[in-house]
């Protein structure tokens, strides 16, 4: 077998080159088996190369998938073809798996087709993040109006109800108390909305995310999640996150509380917290002249029943909730805080595997004294 100048065989050099690509690459033989795969493809298909080599592409994608049809077309016509925004979601691959497909015949191997898959999910989710920020700004304007036009009259109504309470019968006193309680509830809702109108720059510092998660876990175990098991999968070498500690605590408390409420009384209820370093995209964010990388990934998983499919695209919009007495502001506030940090939040959910909220954030680099600026794909927001 030939060797290159560095002493690597051609096969090893080729595999090394493929493994440097940040997109899944597989080769499909004439029988449909995925005989070769790079490291990114193993992660994408959630299987090792040995298992993939014994599996057909059709084992992973939905029946009648355009991906399989494209491979057949490339094989028949012996020309390279592309297809964009193809949904290949399946029980094995997960939901919201939107990809661009680049397929080409392998001239040396009749019937073989090489595939490169480029996930669209991150770009699409960044677009949605911009929509979430726009919705948050709408809530900001509404909150400012409500604070002026509603809170003052409510204070008068509450005061009048308190005065009436001393002059009415015991039977009517329950009604005056109801008026007081309901006005207090409306004021509390307006106060929560006013948080959205705070547009001051976020005060940030290098934060150890594991200390934040430990704090959130301790609070949850002593309160709303005392009967739920926690699993931690942390990267101990993770650099600090460039963030505001109190706001991070608020974000993860909201996410863990939602996870606990989704699990409910399940005896096997489990919340999994994970951290990882994943070189990713770079974004232009407000308040920074540079593109900021988002290499830090923090996830909150639960094994609850999942989020209804019709709610998933709008889960971060204000006033969207599946809870009977929920305000629908918790996840909207989470999205606002993450966005104010220049980060991205996404949600994946299915009835079989529960729900995961994934946050990508910038890291701190002490030598520069600012956000870490490494990434591979740049997207202007």
pLDDT of residue 134: 53
* Runs of H (alpha helix) within 95-208: 121-149, 151-165, 170-194
pLDDT of residue 58: 86
Q: What tens digit of pLDDT does each residue of 248-295 get?
A: 998 998 899 999 998 988 888 999 999 988 765 555 544 555 555 678
- Which token pair is 296? 């830090």
Q: What tens digit of pLDDT does each residue of 292-320 get?
A: 567 889 999 999 888 887 787 778 776 66
Superfamily of segment(s) 10-119? PAS domain (3.30.450.20)
Q: How far is CA 29 from CA 11, 51, 54, 92, in A?
A: 17, 15, 11, 21
Stated as kind and residue range, the H or E segment containing 144 is helix 121-149
Region at 312 (left for phi over 0; alpha for psi -120 to 50; beta for the rest): alpha
**Burial group, residue 200, by CB count within 10 angstroms (0-12, 13-18, 19+):** exposed
8 CB-near residues (< 8 Å, 6+ apart)? 16
pLDDT over 90, % of the chain: 14
H helix and E strand count, the chain: 10, 17
Strands 113-119 and 98-105: antiparallel
Q: How far is CA 118 from CA 29, 34, 56, 59, 270, in A?
A: 21, 17, 20, 20, 32
Angle ∠(375,48,239) on CA atoms, nearest 5: 30
Contact at 8 Å (CB) between 292 and 283?
Answer: yes
136 vs 172, more confident = 172
CATH code of 205-379, in short, is 3.30.565.10
Domain-wise residue ranges, the chain:
10-119, 123-197, 205-379
CATH code of 123-197, in short, is 1.10.287
- Which token pair is 7? 């002493």
Whole-angstrom distance, CA of residue 82 vs CA of residue 237: 39
Whole-angstrom distance, CA of residue 213 vs CA of residue 223: 15
Q: What tens digit of pLDDT does each residue of 76-125 get?
A: 888 888 877 787 887 777 766 778 888 889 888 888 999 888 776 555 55
Contact at 8 Å (CB) between 62 and 89?
Answer: yes
Alpha-carbon torsion (219, 222, 227, 233), positive or negative: positive
């Amino acid at each position: 077998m030939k060797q290159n100048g560095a002493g690597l065989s051609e096969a090893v050099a080729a595999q090394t080159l493929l493994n440097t690509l940040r997109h899944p690459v597989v080769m499909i033989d004439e029988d449909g088996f995925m005989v070769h795969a790079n490291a990114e493809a193993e992660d994408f298909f959630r299987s090792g190369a040995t298992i993939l080599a014994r599996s057909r592409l059709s084992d992973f994608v939905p029946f009648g998938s355009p991906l399989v049809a494209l491979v057949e077309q490339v094989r028949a016509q012996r020309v390279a073809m592309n297809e964009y925004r193809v949904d290949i979601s399946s029980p094995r691959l997960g939901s919201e798996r939107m990809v661009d497909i680049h397929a080409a015949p392998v001239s040396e191997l009749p019937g073989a087709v090489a595939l490169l898959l480029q996930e669209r999910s991150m770009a699409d989710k960044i677009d949605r993040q911009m929509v979430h920020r726009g919705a948050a700004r709408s809530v900001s304007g509404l909150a400012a109006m409500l604070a002026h036009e509603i809170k003052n009259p409510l204070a008068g109504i509450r005061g009048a109800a308190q005065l009436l309470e001393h002059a009415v019968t015991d039977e009517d006193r329950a009604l005056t108390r109801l008026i007081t309680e309901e006005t207090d509830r409306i004021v509390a809702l307006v106060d929560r909305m006013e948080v959205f109108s705070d547009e001051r720059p976020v005060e940030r510092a290098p934060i150890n995310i594991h200390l934040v998660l430990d704090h959130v876990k301790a609070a949850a175990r002593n309160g709303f999640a005392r009967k739920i098991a926690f699993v931690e999968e942390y990267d101990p070498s993770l650099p600090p996150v460039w963030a505001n500690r109190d706001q991070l605590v608020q974000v993860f408390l909201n996410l863990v509380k939602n996870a606990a409420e989704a699990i409910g009384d399940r005896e096997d209820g489990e919340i999994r917290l994970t951290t990882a370093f994943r070189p990713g995209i770079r974004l232009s964010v407000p308040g920074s002249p540079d593109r900021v990388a988002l290499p830090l990934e923090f996830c909150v998983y639960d094994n609850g029943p999942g989020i209804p499919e019709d709610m998933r695209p709008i889960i971060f919009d204000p006033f969207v909730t599946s809870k009977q007495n929920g305000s629908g502001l918790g996840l909207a506030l989470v999205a606002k805080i993450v966005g104010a940090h220049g980060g991205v939040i996404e949600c994946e959910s299915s009835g079989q595997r529960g729900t995961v909220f994934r946050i990508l954030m910038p890291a701190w680099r002490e030598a520069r004294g600012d956000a870490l600026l490494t990434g591979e794909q740049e997207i202007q927001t």
